[in-house]
Amino acid sequence: MIPTLINTFSNCSLIFMKTTSKFSKCIRVRYQHSLYDMAIIGGGIVGLAAARELILRHPTLSFVLLEKEKELALHQSGHNSGVIHSGIYYTPGSLKAKLCVRGATLTYEYCEKNGIPYKRCGKLIVAVEREEIPRLKALYERGQSNNVRDLCIIDAKGIREREPYCRGLMAIDSPYTGIVDWHLVSLTYGRDFQAAGGTVITEFEAAAISSVPESPAGDTSGIKFPISVKSLKGDEVQCRYVLTCGGLYSDRLSEISGCSPEPRIVPFRGDYLVLKPEKHYLVRGNIYPVPDPRFPFLGVHFTPRMDGSVWLGPNALLAFKREGYRPFDFDLWDSIDALSYRYSHLCYLDILTHTVKTRIASIIHFGNMLVIQSTRISK
């Protein structure tokens, strides 16, 4: 079966038109050619952002983005809290810190330029116990070292002024933190990529990445385009370079490309509670706890959404399917991968239950036991 190709600028036979949103109107056309300078595997926000940047920097080269689903950005890019982080948490001088601080500014600029709705609603990181205050102050110093904009420490009175229904001893106030629909941002990256002449092929699940075998005499395609990417259905794309941005499947893509599968992806499902509409007034901006350094997550937090709803979560529960958004979703091979990994011996405490989203934890030598603790919410 020929994979779906999305390209609004190719002179190819038209099959049909489908609109997923005002930012993702595409013309689906038949597969035209399979030789490209670069292939990007993965149509989530990372793959789309990378593809957009590459084609804008190198407009004379040919680019193709390969996505296994029927549409772009269906998984992690839309299944998250929707926060624009300001860069508080990361080690000063690290790449994460630099990219987060710079990325927040670039995100606001990009949203303004492209008419993408966002809210700079701010964030409080609230200490509710005295033993949390030293960690809060250390976190503030880290944010200052990272040059996070407009960061300050406020007391209990300041907390009430900022969030009238929030109580705490002390808090970090980060007014530069915001919220956005990252799925919409992703689709806009895809629009930019296509407008610059890039090709997007959907329903192309990469199954093998290898060197092109020797070609018959007179055929030089294998010399110019030495890398072959084949899908599960047997379709093939040849290219000079490959960039893999596989999200939940990044370890498997790394392995089939001849690289190490480490760190291995162990999928976690995060559950959220949703405030009743009549209670939305209780939360103005993002409200986070002081993170516990024993755990690799930021903690259960309140987050307003672009649609006006307010979420509380997520917790972190081992998922038995990499794209398992429901509590009982199960995939045998995903489960074997997670349970057989030598650093994924897990112990569960309490679980929140409600709207289901999926998160990723790359477990890299945390030790023999990782305890994921979440919070029980009493109604």
Give the residue from 115, 149, 176 where a domain finishes: 176
Residue in the structure block whose two tokens are 């190709």: 5
Are residues 65 and 189 both part of a single domain?
A: yes
User: Using alpha carbons only, what angle is made at residue 248 by residues 242 and 250, rounded to the nearest 5 degrees?
Assistant: 30
Q: What is the pLDDT along the chain (379 residues), one digit of tens a residue?
A: 334 343 333 322 222 223 334 333 333 333 446 999 999 999 999 999 999 999 999 999 999 999 999 999 999 899 899 999 999 999 999 999 999 999 999 999 999 999 999 999 999 999 999 999 999 999 999 999 999 999 999 999 999 999 999 999 999 999 999 999 999 999 999 999 999 999 999 999 999 999 988 666 556 566 889 999 999 999 999 999 999 999 999 999 999 999 888 888 888 888 888 999 999 999 999 999 999 877 777 888 999 999 999 999 888 777 777 787 776 665 545 544 544 443 333 322 222 333 334 444 444 333 332 323 333 333 3
Q: Do both 56 and 91 map to the same domain?
A: no
- Across the strands, what pairs with 271? 356
52 and 187 part of one domain: yes
Do 46 and 192 sit in the same domain of this protein?
yes
Both 61 and 192 in one domain: the answer is yes
Residues 284 and 349 in one domain: yes
**Whether 48 contacts 72, CB under 8 Å:** yes
277 and 358 belong to one structural domain: yes
Structural domain boundaries, residue 144: 86-176
- Alpha carbon of residue 25 to chain centroid: 22
CA–CA separation, 358 and 374 (whole Å): 15
* Both tokens assigned to 21: 């949103």
pTM: 0.79
